[in-house]
A and B are shown apart, each in its own frame.
Chain A
Amino acid sequence: MRLLEVVLIPCRAIVYIASVLAPSSLRRDWRREWLSEIWHQSRAPEIEKGELRSIWRLYCSSFGSLADAWWQFREDGHALSRLSRILRSPRFCLSSLGLLFLICFVVSGFLPATRTVLFPLPYQDGDRMAIVSRTGRMEPVRRGIPKEIAQAWLRNSHLIDAMASSSFATQVSAIAGGRRVTTSFVTASSNLFDVLGVAIAPAASHSAGGDTQPAVYLSHAFWEKQLHGDSQIIGTRLLIKGRAEVVAGILPVNAWFLSPAIGIYRLQPMDDEAGGLLVVHCRPHVSTSALERELAQAAEGEGYAFVSTAPHAVFLPDAQRAPISIFAAACFLAMVLAVLAHGPRWMRLNNVADWLPSKNWRWWKFFFVKTLLALLLVFIVGLELFVAGTRQTMSEALGGPALMWFYIVGCNAVLLASISDQRARCRVCQRLLGLPIQIGCPGCLLLDWAGTEFLCPQGHGVLYVPHHVACWEQEDTWVLLET
């Protein structure tokens, strides 16, 4: 009996979804008939025995309700007008945006890049962590900060407590447990996770010959997805770039450095480290400019000068928030452009008082919600497209030129489209206006019309859009017919 009830759940769901198409006057009877038929068919002895073929046949039969409902929908004389009404409604507009959100959420795998940017950093003293690089851009072709300079800075510094070094991330192909896997890879100094304050549980780590020998740590996501959570992997050897490395441990679930996309961290003594970027734990109330100045002074003390490029420091939370800042700037720019583009029109409105939010609250509310949803969609899509795949998400390179241009173009497009859409909607019921009527004599105006009138299907009003502006004052005119 319980199995039958479980089997019937999807069938009932299909019928309920299909019943939305059926005309409301027939819907109740229509649904009752289908549910009754499905109930009777489910009582077949083969289904009660749990025979998969019969259960599948029952599901196929349930899908027939969609065809039946579609027939009912088409048969309904007002179906097309109903469909048109649905497509023009503000609810449809907001639902479409919601659906796009859902698609984005599912396709991206629950928004990994967005979570990286919005969630707190997985470090003990995140606010006091900074990355110091030679140029501010993480380009593997450039040299990093020489290790002698870094060590001299650490010895003489009044601003930093601890320092670790790290290479830039690269893509590697490794062989683990007989499987070939591809992931991002970073070489760092042995104290990297101590400096970051990421605690690796003793049970999850394995002594790989003390601090003098290189040890490999795997990110939790990489271990879980690529190595299927194989607990036997700790202590075994991993072949990376032709070198066998011992897997010393698995990082905690949310721990990452540079990017969640990095799967393998190779830790080795700082002396062996090629100069890359520095991870420093600062004392309280230290600014990035002070860090840069002190590093430059330390370099000068060692007889080294940063000739063509000045060192660049960035606090990790600032780097993490870079996309948000870029997005905010892009939104501001889009607003300025929108005001420049539409401002003159708004200035010429005769009945400004009618447009104030206090008089037309519903109209403004729809506009704000729609625009906000669309902008959020641009924000998320930008992050998932341009951040999720990168390996350097903890520097200002996070908000690279591609992301910046995407946000600028996206925010402008959204705002202009939102304003255009809003102008084409009824001021009372927010539905898109329709039934266009051409105005004027085409012969008098070089075979074009003087303008078009759009009517609200509910009879609320008429919008006149001039195609040929006779004087600078002539603009769209909204005539309210009834309220």
Chain B
Amino acid sequence: MSPSRHGARYVGQPAPRVDALEKVLGSARFLADITLPGMLHARALRSRLPHARIKRLDVSPALAIPSVHAVITNDDFIDHGSYGFPVKDDYMLAHEKVRYVGDAIAAVAAETPEAALAGVQAIICELEPLPIVSDVTQALDDDAPQVGPDRADGEHPNFLSRSIVNAGDAAAELNVADVVLQDEFSTPHQEHAYLETEGALAIPTPEGGVVIYCSNQSPFINRDNVAMALGLPPELVRSIQPPVGGSFGGKDDLNYEASAQCAALALKTGRPVRMIFSREESMVASYKRNAMKMWVEVGAQKDGTLRVCRFRGLLDSGAYASESPFTAWRASIHAMGAYRYAAVDIDVTAVYTNNAFSGAFRGFGNPEVNFAIEQMMDELATKLDMDPMDLRLQNALRLGDHLPHGQKLDESVSLVQCLDAARQKSDWDRKRREFARHNASNEIKKGIGVAALFHGLSLGAEGADYAGATIRIDDNNRIILTSGFTDYGQGSRTVFTLIAAEVLGVRPERIDMLRPDTDTAIESGPTVASRATVLGGNATRLAAANLRHTLDLAAADLLGCQVAQLVRDEETYIGPEERPIPWEDIAAHARSLGLQLSAQGRWQAPSIHWDHNAGRGEPYFAYHFAVQVAEVTVDMGTGQVQVDDIWAVHDLGKVIFPQGAEGQVYGGIAQGLGYALSERIDYVNGYLQQTNFDRYRIPTAPEMPRIHITLLEDALSAGPFGAKNVAEPAMVPTAAAIANAVAHASGRRIRHLPITLEQVLLGRNLMRPATADRARRGLLL
């Protein structure tokens, strides 16, 4: 293996995914593949109404069924199973009220899945319907039904959060700007559509605790939630991560509920209890990407210089808060796009409705606002008769600039390079000209569009940002590495393996990177916000460096030299006398010296501060910059949009795991493609209309465009080997780039996702027949 130009032997070099072997053999044991002796099957009774008071709940008929072993309600949890962060407004099982179709009310454990369903159907549950609010624009009306919890501060109970960004005098700038454009946009809910549904397995322990296997993103949060709901000390709850069949932000809350329900049933019955969601149950009950309505105003000078952005966003949190306050905050931070302004006035408000609930989903507010602001940029370019690429180049954030938020950008700012590369690789200038000519006389039209983005790395001012890792050498000289981060397919276990191998100077095959287990890994916060590579990578780097230091001391002792005199040839240590010593002998010598061959690493993100009241500060410690260009064919006879090519230019700081980084970009673009064209969620009076993949259409293989990836490496000093984030940014600009390409092709500006045939043909969506049956049938109620 030849060293790269950075001199790295493993980092940035081709490598297989560490968990690929078991997956291609079909031997990876996902949650639903684990069956234990005496295991019971659990199922939840879920609400068939979008809003109701629980008048009567009698579980005794279910308990009368011989193979039903236990039934639980909110009374089986401490404080009725109240949980949630940052707002504690949800319950492990509904308390007094249900707030959306699919809200869990009771859970049954039985010998078979069929018996569990019979138990659910036997429960007497009388619901008294309450008025609902499904339209986000009516949520804060005086007479809107109350969905959110009571509050003492005088705000409307359906008000959840407000996030602002303020710079300059936006009103004054709008008055004096040469050009002012104003438009309304909306983005729909989006289903994560992980191929593996939610679920949990709980095993009671002899000491009165419980071991949880759950396909969640954040096992430590799961452990703490289960411990809290059951009144157990955290050390009696262990959460273990099996392989996860996709997540994309979606496997938190419902999996916490499933874990707590299974844990309570397991403690009650003394038997292992497993719950696996059907696809319909998953789609009806699980949280979605927040739907958002946006009103945007931008002002510019005649020469194309941006002056001001005023942005109002209304985010549908649905029945519970979940992560929506954080999503709304991230949306507000990114709402104005990656540009310089004299003034901004941004306000993103999140509200409660009875539309299921929304939470974390890849991009976390940025794909939503990017869809709006990047189309505004194109509208502005049209108005000023400028090329969209030129307009972006003129206003793009550059090294040394200040964000409108007040933060100076002092490293790894590569937007201009991304724009240049995208322009050149896509043959932008020629295509813009030639397509316009072609379209003048053809019904099958061609278009090319661009969208740019910045995306804050990790949690930012959302929360405490740290990570830990452990590393040790076992008696067989295998290296055991742990991290608190979950690999749900994105490849973080391979990233950490390569980093540890690089730092220690050992072959990656020697390293066993474990999946998280709350008994062996170090709590590292949630696996969200594209933070694993930088946070977990740094913790791994430090843990490996600490272990390397121990080995180097042993090597110097064995070779009779100073540490600084040591040379490495692959794994082998060589001293001044040029005698090579195998790595295993160094480890053995370290043991003989009485040295402990284990270490930890902890990394704390650089400190930042955000003033929520002023709407100013340093929201994130670093940013990902990227540009995507989409080329489309639009059939004006049918309204059909086909995406032919996408050029994706992303600055990753440093690529650690090339195959994985490219996989993130491909996969992100596919999710952006579905968001743009086919993924449609309709809540009609609170009832979901798409409950399986027959109606909810995620992109299939034949719909994929050719994708051309360019990865830039403008190193971030705080990143491991200079690396930044990629998972979320990959999907952020795709829908906007496609919408801009559709506008270029058809002359139709589509401001409401998804881009349907009728929007392209008629400029508006047609009404579709709706029914409450589908969601109910999906729950078998």
A binds B: no
Using CB atoms and an 8 Å cutoff, list the residues of chain B in contact with chain A. Answer: none
